[in-house]
Structure 1
Amino acid sequence: MNKKSLLIGIIIGMAILSMANLVFASIGGSNAAEPQGIEVVVEPGDTLWAIADRYNEQADMSINELLFYIQRANDLKSAIVQPGDHLTIPIE
């Protein structure tokens, strides 16, 4: 095999890998890019537990599972919320 054939093979291989990367990124990236859900505003007296209890059936999760996902979706460091906070509730 001469140098020209090897170079052409490398270029074609890189092009195929690049195309495959684009295809797989578009397939897997659509759900991970934006969390789906509804936005709620925390009212006075609300707790994260009460909010998870209110929406757990819609989310088809236990209260504890939804509590975890609410914290993760909203980058909360603790379960403490304040009136006026906007939270995304991950409901499919």
Structure 2
Amino acid sequence: MNKKSLFIGTIIGAAILSMANLVFASIGTGDKENTPSGIEVVVEPGDTLWNIADQYNEQAGMSVNELLFYIQKENQLQSAIVQPGDRIIIPVE
């Protein structure tokens, strides 16, 4: 094995270890509750996730886009589409 191959192998190995570290760091320690904290909002007819984020973004201390993505992630929504009767948690104290 020449020096160039050894160097490339070392770089690839370091990249793989870095990616694994990122994956495991994102999993967390499990101390966090599974449900987000905040207020529960029941989606009304005509509501969109954007309207809801726009209504609560100042109270949450986030931009509308930040809150929209936070709501999707923390409520485990597959898309930004919500239906009347859906219950979502908004991170407002």
Normalising by the residue count of structure 2, what TM-score does the alignment of the two structures yield?
0.63
CA deviations on 1:26-73 (whole Å, 9 max, x unpaired) are: xx93xx224210000000000000000000000000000000110011
State whether structure 2 residue 55 is matched by structure 1 residue 66: no
The CA deviation at 1:87 is 0.5
**Partner Cα distance (1:73, 1:66) in 2:** 10
**Counterpart amino acid of residue 56 in structure 2:** Y
Structure with the higher helix share, 1 or 2 = 1
Which protein shows a greater Rg?
1
Query: Share of identical aligned residues, percent?
Result: 72
Counterpart of 2:53 in structure 1 is 52
Normalising by the residue count of structure 1, what TM-score does the alignment of the two structures yield?
0.64
Counterpart of 1:89 in structure 2 is 90
Instruction: For structure 2, list consecutive stretches of 5 or more residues without a partner in the other structure.
Output: 1-28
- Taking only aligned residues, the RMSD between alpha carbons, in angstroms, comes to 1.6
Question: How many residues are aligned here?
Answer: 64
Contact 1:73 1:90 (8 Å CA) reproduced: no
Runs of 4 or more consecutive aligned structure 1 residues displaced over 3 Å after TM superposition: none
Instruction: For structure 1, list consecutive stretches of 5 or more residues without a partner in the other structure.
Output: 1-24
